């Protein structure tokens, strides 16, 4: 497909796409795009490095590659010098392979002991590696997170990881564009996680397949960078290739002073360039969807896919198709019964969707002066070492511990339960992560996705509950 000529109005996506084409798309072959930043973690990289080694190839641009350890790393607190207690020899091997591959290929690694280590999609933005206008790839579906900065960021498979390592380019068919316009303002007690769950519920699980979403409108502009990342993070759960938000003053302020962001005059020059990264007036999207933020409530999921979501004060909906029927049977929920009041066994606050400082503050706001209901387990897992330090500096860890929650070391943890952190069979887990697939958080574990506030409220009540009630009791306006 031909790109619009530079004089025609273009979408933000078009601008990012056009400026990275090494070889245009043809009927025979996808386009070849230059990759500005390649993020790497231990799960999807070992085979890719092995492919390189088999052919005797070098990493093309180690300085544009950055690795971290997150999925298979234990989160149990350790004493200084104590070795990490991996869940399995396979988990240990993944980590050690990445350590070895990074050393051999001179790739920077935020490894054990590094104050930069964190979940790949928390760490990248936090270090200023993620910048507007970039193309960013990672062997991980939630790479869409980085689109919050106006970067074209998407997940790739292991073979593509090898291709990027060897060539610093990626082959892609041009996706279509979908504009999600969010008008109005989010009401008090309703946040970015509720907004994206509502958007996904509207679009459906595959509703954005083959598209790059651009989120626009006053409700999006009013979000913090953390909120924007939460929204873009879950674009993939509607099937989208990527999510985008045009960079603005909120973005530039967030980037100022970050380790890898440009500094001084270079920052000002970059900012002038970044300001042009907006969809032009009159540019056409392939599709458009609108939502009114002011009508939204805190959201929870009732099924086994993120699009199976409803307002927390709603009842379980009637199934519309066989997937819904199956999901309700899995969850043990009956149509018409209230979601509020469902007994909760474990609460997980963490993941690349909701484990940034603002998320932990949101949960701590509810927990302060309250207690986790006896019999309920609550795990709070910061998204990165930096988040952990910042949270501890302002006493959030103490709030969680005093309330009876476990305060852990950073990592993906119970989001995917690859490191040993998991629920027990049959449990209902309220989780701030992004996927409620059957058994993802452990065999037989049922997951309800929610915001940090809703998760914290569930820990206190021992049941699904409306967090707004606990916010009022705090005397918050």
Q: Does 434 bind ligand SF4 (CB under 6 A)?
A: yes
Q: Which residue is nearest to ligand IPM (CB)?
A: 141
Single out the segment in contact with ligand SF4 by CB under 6 A; choices: 53-61, 238-246, 280-288, 412-420: 412-420
For the chain, first and last CA: distance in Å?
Answer: 52
> Taking CB within 5 to 8 Å according to partner kind, which of ligand SF4, ligand IPM, none is near residue 119?
ligand SF4
Separation of alpha carbons 329 and 424, rounded Å: 18
Query: Which residues are near ligand IPM by CB under 6 A?
Result: 43-44, 71, 140-142, 155, 416
Separation of alpha carbons 432 and 226, rounded Å: 14
CB atoms within 10 A of CB 81: 5
Q: Does 412 bind ligand SF4 (CB under 6 A)?
A: yes
Closer by beta carbon to ligand SF4, 11 or else 441: 441
Closer by beta carbon to ligand SF4, 235 or else 433: 433
Which of 123, 122, 147 shows the shortest CA–CA distance to 16? 147
Which of 38, 40, 382, 359 shows the shortest CA–CA distance to 225? 359
Single out the segment in contact with ligand SF4 by CB under 6 A; choices: 157-165, 210-218, 358-366, 411-419: 411-419
As a residue count, the chain comes to 477
Among positions 112-171, residues that touch ligand SF4 (CB under 6 A) are 119, 121, 140, 142
> Taking CB within 5 to 8 Å according to partner kind, which of ligand SF4, ligand IPM, none is near residue 155?
ligand IPM
Q: Does 352 bind ligand SF4 (CB under 6 A)?
A: yes
Q: Does 349 bind ligand SF4 (CB under 6 A)?
A: no
Closer by beta carbon to ligand IPM, 44 or else 279: 44
Specify burial of residue 57 (Cβ count, 10 A radius: 0-12, 13-18, 19+): middle
CB 143 to ligand SF4: min, Å: 9
CB 410 to ligand IPM: min, Å: 15
Separation of alpha carbons 401 and 397, rounded Å: 6
Q: What is the DSSP letter of 461?
A: H
Known binding site: residues? 352, 412, 415
Closer by beta carbon to ligand SF4, 136 or else 471: 136
Closer by beta carbon to ligand IPM, 303 or else 317: 303
- Region of 426 (left: φ > 0; alpha: ψ -120 to 50; beta: rest) is left
CB atoms within 10 A of CB 128: 18
How far is CA 162 from its chain centroid? 23
Name residues whose C-beta falls within 8 Å of residue 82's C-beta, 6 or more positions apart in sequence.
Answer: none
Which of 347, 345, 455, 357 shows the shortest CA–CA distance to 410? 357
CB 313 to ligand IPM: min, Å: 29
Separation of alpha carbons 111 and 104, rounded Å: 15
Known binding site for [4Fe-4S] cluster: residues? 352, 412, 415
Which residues sit at the interface with ligand SF4, rule CB under 6 A? 70-71, 119, 121, 140, 142, 351-352, 412, 415-416, 433-434
């Amino acid at each position: 497909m031909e790109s619009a000529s530079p004089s025609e109005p273009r979408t933000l996506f078009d601008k990012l796409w056009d400026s990275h084409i090494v070889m245009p798309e043809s009927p025979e072959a996808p386009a070849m795009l230059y990759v500005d930043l390649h993020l790497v973690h231990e799960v999807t990289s070992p085979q890719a490095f092995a492919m390189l080694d088999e052919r005797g190839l070098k990493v093309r641009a180690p300085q544009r590659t950055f690795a971290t350890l997150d999925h298979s790393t234990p989160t149990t607190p350790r004493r200084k010098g104590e070795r990490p207690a991996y869940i399995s020899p396979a988990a240990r091997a993944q980590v050690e392979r990445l350590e070895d591959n990074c050393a051999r290929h001179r790739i920077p690694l935020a490894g054990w002991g590094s104050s930069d280590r964190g979940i790949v999609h928390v760490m990248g933005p936090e270090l200023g590696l993620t910048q507007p206008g970039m193309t960013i790839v990672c062997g991980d579906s939630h790479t869409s997170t980085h689109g919050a900065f106006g970067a074209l960021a998407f997940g790739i498979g292991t073979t593509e990881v090898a291709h990027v390592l060897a060539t610093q380019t990626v082959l892609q068919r041009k996706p279509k564009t979908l504009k999600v316009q969010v008008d109005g303002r989010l009401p008090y007690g309703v946040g970015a996680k509720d907004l994206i769950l509502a958007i996904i519920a509207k679009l459906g699980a595959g509703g954005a397949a083959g598209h790059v979403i651009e989120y626009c409108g006053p409700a999006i502009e009013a979000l913090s960078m953390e909120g924007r990342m939460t929204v873009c993070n879950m674009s993939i759960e509607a099937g989208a290739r990527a999510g985008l938000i045009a960079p603005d003053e909120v973005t530039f302020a967030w980037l100022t002073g970050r380790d890898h962001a440009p500094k001084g005059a270079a920052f000002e020059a970059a900012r002038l360039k970044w300001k042009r990264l907006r969809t032009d007036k009159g540019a056409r999207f392939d599709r458009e969807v609108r939502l009114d933020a002011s009508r939204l409530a805190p959201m929870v999921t009732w099924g086994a896919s993120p699009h199976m979501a409803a307002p927390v004060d709603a009842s379980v909906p009637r199934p519309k198709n066989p997937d819904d029927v199956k999901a309700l049977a899995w969850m043990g929920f009956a149509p018409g019964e209230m979601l509020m009041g469902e007994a909760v066994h474990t609460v997980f606050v963490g993941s690349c969707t909701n484990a940034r400082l603002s998320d932990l503050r949101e949960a701590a706001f509810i927990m302060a002066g309250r207690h986790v209901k006896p019999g309920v387990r609550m795990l709070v897992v910061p998204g990165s070492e930096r988040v952990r330090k910042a949270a501890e500096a302002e006493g959030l860890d103490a709030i969680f511990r005093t309330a009876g929650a476990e305060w852990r070391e950073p990592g993906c943890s119970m989001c995917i339960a690859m490191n040993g952190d998991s629920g027990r069979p049959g449990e209902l887990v309220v989780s701030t992560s992004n996927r409620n697939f059957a058994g993802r958080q452990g065999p037989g574990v049922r997951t309800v996705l929610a915001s940090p506030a809703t998760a914290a409220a569930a820990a206190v009540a021992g049941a699904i509950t409306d967090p707004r009630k606990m916010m009022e009791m705090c005397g918050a306006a």
